Structure 1
Amino acid sequence: MAAVKAWDDDLVYALSAQASVDHPDEITMIHTMLIDGVSDVICGDALPGDSPMVTCRFTIRYGTRNSYQVARLQKKDGGWVIDDALVVTRDRR
Structure 2
Amino acid sequence: MAPTGTDPQQHRQRTSFFSRPGVRRVMPFVVITAIALVFIFENRADTEIRLLIPIVTMPLWGALLIAWGLGMLACVVTVRRRRDRKHQKPR
User: Taking structure 1 as the reference length, what is the TM-score of the superposition?
Assistant: 0.27
User: Taking structure 2 as the reference length, what is the TM-score of the superposition?
Assistant: 0.28
- Bigger fraction of residues in helix: 2
Tell which has more relative contact order, 1 or 2 (C-alpha 8 A, sep 6+): 1
- Bigger fraction of residues in strand: 1
